[in-house]
Structure 1
Amino acid sequence: MPIALPVGLILALFIGLLIWLAPVQMVLLVLAGLASVVTVIRRPTLGLLLFCVLGTFIPYSTIQIGVRTTVSEAMIMLTWASYLLQAMFFDQPKRPPMQRTERLLLMLMLFSAFPFLVGQVSVVAEGNGPINWVRWLFNLSILFLVPRLLLERQTLEQLIMCLMLGTLAMLLMSIPVFLAERSATAMIPILGVLGYSGVDVLNSSLLALADRMGSPWMHPNVAGGALAMLLPLAFCYGLSRSGGPRSIALAVAVLGVIGLLLTGSRGALISLVAVMLWMARRRIPHLGRILLGGVFAGTALLLLYPPLQDRIMSLFSDDDVSTAIRFLEYSHFPDAVAMFPFGIGFKVDPPVLNYTEFGISNLWLNFVYKLGLPGMLLFIAITTSWWKQVRPAKGPIVLTADNCIALGTTCGVLAALFSGLFDHYFSFTPVLSALFWLFVGISLHENRRLHQQAIASFKSHVARPEQGERP
């Protein structure tokens, strides 16, 4: 008997019972979820595209799948399940050999089992270490999906547009709400409707940040870091395209700068400016004028919004609270390392209640806090290897439709690493760390393609004169 018949009967019975016993809204939600799962299982690439939309629009909307996780992370898990299921029954295209950066990341993932086990034993606190560890591994694993699923240029273009559309939707929701209410807490009711958990706790934590823009990223500094990483890609993609994609990407770039200023994330703002100055130094077209326009727009926003003036001026203040806390974090960090030389693992995040008083607002030192010194050294080795593979050649960079994605993702990763001097969010923060490793994977993938394309072009150019000399 064909398998479709019993499966169809079971689904029909299940849906019939659901319609009979459950409210209409729940039935529609379940049907939409089932349709999405079936579609992704048939086409794993759609799972990655959906992650790009959801991970930039509503990154922390949650779902219950035995344990509570974000919809974005569940989409990564579903994409992997779909890919492996497809690989069992169908021949997959031959993927390129692993690059050194990918091998080092795999080493970091394997090594993390040691601090995970140590933390489970040495840290006496409430927390689900195994689930947190598995979620973090899935966030990193998205890098390995890039060479497996982004095999065609059209698919990569669709993925970039999904990133832009998700970011644009997030900005179009967050900026008007903040401008209307002038409070970060105005987003709380909307986030509750979007399936965010712990809304009451979030409300109390945002009260101290009320004069900064709220968003689906929940914390203004996390939103600022995400925008700092996404904006270089939006600039490069928008400047090299035409029509609808150009309009969408440039809208993300313009609104993203406004959103970044309203978040008040000074580290993200400094990192974005630093990366764009480097891009301008490499003679990327129009960037000088864009920076000048950004200065004028930022000045106008400063004049119209006094809380932003206070936030920017606090950079030069001696009594800024957040700066003082960072100095306290650095001064207490050696004590934390001495107490947990092999890291605290994944049961809890720093600080550890009843053990340490402060966390650490630094990307690299947070790896030490969680995974010990070897974890940080592996992360440094990964980023160093990545830079050697994607570093542009000396001289001016000619921005084209062919290299804009490689350049945009490379600059986005640089902005994320630079912001790591001030914040730790790209290390273990769910979804944001997945976007970081997605950008690393795309930049590696695209730079390898451009390198192979350059080699093929050179060989063709060398072979032409020889062919012309033949009688």
Structure 2
Amino acid sequence: MPLAMPVGVFIALLFGVLVWVLPAIKVTAALIGVAAVVTIIRRPLRGLLLFGVLATFLPYATVQIGLRTTVSEALVMLIWASLVVHRLFALYTPPLHLLRTERWLIALMMFSALPFVAGQLTVNADGNGPVNWVRWLFNLSPLFLVPRLLNDDKSREQMTIALLLGTLFLLLLSIPVYLKSGSSTAIISIIGGLGYSNLDTLNEGLSGLSTRMGTPWTHPNIAGGALAMLLPLAFCIGVTRQGPVRTLGLAVAGLAAAGLLFTGSRGALLSLILVMCWMARRRVPYVGRLLMAGVFLGALLLMFYPPLQERLIGLFSSNDASTAIRFQEYSHFPDAMKMFPLGIGFKVDPPVPGTGLWGISNLWLNYVYKLGIPGMLLFTAVTVSWWKEARLDSHVVPLNRDTALWFGTRAGVMAALLSGVFDHYFSFTTVLIALFWLLLGLNLHEARRLQNTQHRTATEPGERP
């Protein structure tokens, strides 16, 4: 870059002055931070890989950048800033062609401005609507980073490894702490030292879920949804790769299955079972055996693990508190639609304080709550478009090294959408939805690559004898 020399001289002089006026530890930390920012600006792919690790390991570790936000979201913002810098200095030219699914998502992002304004005017509650709206838009943007930064096999493989490494770190932290303490709140003191804030509120929220496993995702249902989304990817990578990557994939798949049971997220568990049935129908190797093994291990856990007994029995109990609350939410939801026909926007999350309304534990109805019926229809259009656009022609697709990423990401996105019948976390939950849109983008462009390969194979003339 033509500005490299003057920028380097300026930074050297600046830190030379800071050494005289600040403690050495603070100056060293600042120097490391500046070096990391400069590295990401020069190589935005490295920033996206770091996002893959941190968003799955410590998703809600926070940083102060004028306002307090998560490190994961700050990385996404920095990646887009680096792409702008590359564009200004003609170092990078983004692809111009947008797929149909990407155009639908842009339509959803543009429409969200209307509920945002309506919510600012009609919702009488404390909250920073503009900041929340911008953060939500950035959390959708990983879909558009895939064709810009993950446009070859090597970078997509690196991204996959980054996601699995972060998930492995999360499981290696969470499972031993839970097995040792048997409490969801035991992990709070640990993640507090890793950049998490509002620990008192977190402790109060988890105190009623003490028998379920706590993780850096802060809520067992959010953790269950994240594990259900990433487990199919880990399994497909584990059975199709060799060497350390194979070990990584199988380790994450096995630990994620245990972690999913420990979180007690019934919706995530049921959605994963349905996805595995879909994979078995597509004749994916080993899935049928895994379902049988899961039934056997689940029976053992039901006999010897009382918290899981309580959670699963609650599925069929009329006295289960969470099930009763969900029915209450559905019965009160029409009142929210009448009061806020354009949605509540981004000032607060449902329910709106002081209105007597209830929240809603459903992905699509939460879109109605926040963005109105048009917003929900646009989100539905995005997902339907993805399903059609990322579909392969053949009914039976073999699971091999070439198709593993397509299979894993497609099954993961399906699991996330199915879990939306029971929970709302894949609609507006920061960082989690960034991972969701990243996986959807990976699946979309992997499908495009495989479709092009199939087309070339079909159109090539036969070899002469």
TM-score relative to the length of structure 1 = 0.96
Superposed CA deviations along residues 369-391 of structure 1, whole A, max 9, x for unmatched, are 00000000001111111111123
Residue aligning to 1:464: 462
Residue aligning to 2:368: 368
Change (3 A) 1:288 1:133: same
SS in 2 for 1:352: coil
SS in 1 for 2:63: strand
Match for 1:339: what amino acid?
M
Whole-angstrom distance in 2 between the partners of 1:63 and 1:246: 34
SS in 2 for 1:55: helix
Residue aligning to 2:61: 61
Aligned pair 1:101/2:93, yes or no? no
Whole-angstrom distance in 2 between the partners of 1:295 and 1:29: 50
The answer as to whether partners of 1:185 and 1:206 remain within 8 angstroms in 2 is yes
Residue aligning to 1:151: 151
SS in 1 for 2:462: helix
SS in 2 for 1:464: coil
Whole-angstrom distance in 2 between the partners of 1:448 and 1:98: 12
Superposed CA deviations along residues 121-174 of structure 1, whole A, max 9, x for unmatched, are 101111000000000000111101101111221010000000000000000000
Q: Note the 1:135-284 alignment, pairs <5 A.
A: 135-284=135-284
Whole-angstrom distance in 2 between the partners of 1:302 and 1:50: 38
Whole-angstrom distance in 2 between the partners of 1:28 and 1:171: 31
The answer as to whether partners of 2:87 and 2:93 remain within 8 angstroms in 1 is no
Match for 1:113: what amino acid?
A
Residue aligning to 1:378: 378
Whole-angstrom distance in 2 between the partners of 1:12 and 1:208: 52
Shift of 1:64: 0.6
Change (3 A) 1:4 1:108: closer
* Percent of residue pairs bearing the same amino acid type: 59
Change (3 A) 1:417 1:295: same
Whole-angstrom distance in 2 between the partners of 1:25 and 1:193: 17
Aligned pair 1:336/2:336, yes or no? yes
Whole-angstrom distance in 1 between the partners of 2:4 and 2:212: 53
Whole-angstrom distance in 2 between the partners of 1:234 and 1:264: 20
The answer as to whether partners of 1:336 and 1:356 remain within 8 angstroms in 2 is no
Whole-angstrom distance in 2 between the partners of 1:176 and 1:312: 23
Change (3 A) 1:35 1:297: farther
Whole-angstrom distance in 2 between the partners of 1:75 and 1:297: 39
The answer as to whether partners of 2:60 and 2:71 remain within 8 angstroms in 1 is yes
- Structure 1 residues without counterparts, runs of 5 or longer: none
Superposed CA deviations along residues 174-219 of structure 1, whole A, max 9, x for unmatched, are 0000111111100111111011111111011110011100000000
Change (3 A) 1:297 1:459: same
Whole-angstrom distance in 2 between the partners of 1:27 and 1:213: 38
Superposed CA deviations along residues 71-107 of structure 1, whole A, max 9, x for unmatched, are 0000000001111211221253562621111100000
Match for 1:194: what amino acid?
L
Aligned pair 1:85/2:74, yes or no? no
Aligned pair 1:432/2:428, yes or no? no
Whole-angstrom distance in 2 between the partners of 1:445 and 1:158: 15
Shift of 1:23: 4.0
Superposed CA deviations along residues 433-457 of structure 1, whole A, max 9, x for unmatched, are 1011111111110000100111111
Shift of 1:458: 1.4
The answer as to whether partners of 2:42 and 2:82 remain within 8 angstroms in 1 is yes
TM-score relative to the length of structure 2 = 0.97
Whole-angstrom distance in 2 between the partners of 1:4 and 1:86: 13
Whole-angstrom distance in 2 between the partners of 1:174 and 1:459: 51
Whole-angstrom distance in 2 between the partners of 1:59 and 1:70: 7
Shift of 1:284: 0.5
Of residues 299-308 and 323-332 in structure 1, the stretch that sits farther from structure 2 once superposed is: 299-308
Superposed CA deviations along residues 210-243 of structure 1, whole A, max 9, x for unmatched, are 1100000000000000000000111111111111
Residue aligning to 1:311: 311
Shift of 1:306: 1.1
SS in 2 for 1:69: strand
Residue aligning to 1:14: 14
Of residues 6-15 and 365-374 in structure 1, the stretch that sits farther from structure 2 once superposed is: 6-15
Match for 2:43: what amino acid?
R
Whole-angstrom distance in 1 between the partners of 2:50 and 2:303: 39
Moved over 6 A (4+): none
Whole-angstrom distance in 2 between the partners of 1:56 and 1:346: 25
The answer as to whether partners of 1:390 and 1:443 remain within 8 angstroms in 2 is yes
Match for 1:464: what amino acid?
G
Change (3 A) 1:280 1:214: same
Whole-angstrom distance in 2 between the partners of 1:10 and 1:289: 62
The answer as to whether partners of 1:363 and 1:421 remain within 8 angstroms in 2 is yes
Match for 1:349: what amino acid?
D
Aligned pair 1:395/2:391, yes or no? no
Change (3 A) 1:383 1:116: same
Residue aligning to 1:298: 298
Superposed CA deviations along residues 54-80 of structure 1, whole A, max 9, x for unmatched, are 100000000111111100000000001
Whole-angstrom distance in 1 between the partners of 2:17 and 2:189: 32
Shift of 1:16: 3.4
SS in 2 for 1:361: coil
Whole-angstrom distance in 1 between the partners of 2:158 and 2:16: 36
The answer as to whether partners of 1:96 and 1:147 remain within 8 angstroms in 2 is no
Shift of 1:358: 1.2
Shift of 1:281: 1.4
Whole-angstrom distance in 2 between the partners of 1:117 and 1:259: 41
Whole-angstrom distance in 2 between the partners of 1:403 and 1:394: 12
Whole-angstrom distance in 1 between the partners of 2:390 and 2:23: 53
The answer as to whether partners of 2:187 and 2:214 remain within 8 angstroms in 1 is yes
Whole-angstrom distance in 2 between the partners of 1:107 and 1:151: 24
Whole-angstrom distance in 2 between the partners of 1:91 and 1:395: 42
Whole-angstrom distance in 2 between the partners of 1:464 and 1:445: 28
Shift of 1:5: 4.9
Residue aligning to 1:447: 447
Whole-angstrom distance in 2 between the partners of 1:18 and 1:366: 49
Match for 2:136: what amino acid?
W
Match for 1:213: what amino acid?
M
Whole-angstrom distance in 1 between the partners of 2:428 and 2:17: 41
The answer as to whether partners of 2:392 and 2:451 remain within 8 angstroms in 1 is no
Of residues 24-33 and 192-201 in structure 1, the stretch that sits farther from structure 2 once superposed is: 24-33
Change (3 A) 1:408 1:39: same
SS in 1 for 2:69: strand
